[in-house]
Structure 1
Amino acid sequence: MSITTKQEMFERELQKLYHAEIEILDLHSDLATAAASDEVREIFDGHETDTVEQIDRIEVMFEELDLEPRERGSPIMEGLLAEKDEFIAEVADDDLRDLDAISIGMINERLEITLLDRLIMLADELDVPSSVVEYLKKNRDEAQVALSRMQQFLEERRSR
């Protein structure tokens, strides 16, 4: 399918975001399990409730836009999942496990923020309900908080 309108692009990106959020539930669970420290486990476990709420908001967005909730995969997300699988299989050192888990989590949050920024930009140019824009902004804010928490972990680790 060729994308020829901003509306089609918006719908495609919303489907990609939906897929990413659903994958993030498993990704964070896997990263929490693979983490060596309780602190890193808590970072990922603590974001699960937010992710479920973000998925719920996306489903409401589909409904408000009179679209069927559909996922669309992304080569970027699939690559991140492959990176996570490689990390789990190969990294044995505890400090490196935590560093790799946090790094993968940060890549994920940056990807999510980028998808949301694109959707917000397109929504501003389209005639979408203001509630949809607010949901997108709320999801972006939560992704930014998660990213900041991971960055704070790295900063604290550097100062030890």
Structure 2
Amino acid sequence: MSIRTEADMFERELQKLYHAEVEILDLHGDLSEAAASAEVSDLFAGHREDTVTQITRIEEIFDILDKSPTERGSPIMEGLLAEKDEFVHEVERDDLRDLDAIGIGTINERIEITLLDRLLLLAGNLELPPGVRERLEQNRTEAEAALEKMQGYVERHRTV
């Protein structure tokens, strides 16, 4: 895909976000299973419904734009998935498993927020149909809330 316009870039970033959200379903499931504590496991398991809703919103944006929902991989997301695979197979201590799971989850939410911020910036410059920006904003609000939950876990468990 050659990027020549802001509209081209918007479409590419939307495809990357779509891919990321689809991967997040599995990522969070794996992190939930690998977590040592019920608190961390529940944190990731509880985010599944939000992720499904976010995927639905992205599919609605594709529909509004009269585009077919298409995923586009990203080296950043692929690296995060590789990091998760390494973590699942190597970390044995419970406290370290929870710490690693939260770290991977936090990185993931930051990637998602960055993609959404880029899309929202582009959306502000494009004349997009009603509903596109609102759906992106909803997804961003939910990603920010998930990040805050993960950061809350870190704050509660930080030793001073």
Determine if the TM-score, normalized by the shorter chain, exceeds 0.5.
yes
Structure 1 runs of 4+ with >2 Å offset: none
The corresponding residue for 1:108 is 108
| 2:119 is equivalent to residue 134 of structure 1 | no
Separation in 1 of the partners of 2:129 and 2:8? 16
C-alpha deviation, 1:130, in angstroms? 3.1
Number of aligned residues: 160
Per-residue CA distance 1:118-143 (angstroms, 9 max, x = gap) = 00000000011231100000000000
Query: Following superposition of structure 1 onto structure 2, how do residues 16-31 of structure 1 map, counting pairs within 5 Å?
Result: 16-31=16-31
Q: Aligned runs of 1:62-101 on 2, under 5 Å?
A: 62-101=62-101
CA-to-partner distance for each residue in 1:18-39, whole Å, 9 max, x for gaps? 0000000000000000000000
Letter in 1 for 2:2: S
How far has the Cα of 1:145 moved from its partner? 0.2
Distance 2:44 2:26 in 1: 10
Aligned to 2:43: 43
Q: Normalising to structure 2: TM-score of the pair?
A: 0.98
Helix, strand or coil at the partner of 2:131: helix
Pairwise CA RMSD: 0.9
Match of 2:7 in 1: 7
Q: Matches of 2:137 and 2:152 in 1, distance apart?
A: 22
Q: What is the percentage of aligned positions where both structures have the same residue?
A: 66
Matches of 1:14 and 1:110, distance apart in 2: 16
Equivalent residue for 1:151?
Answer: 151
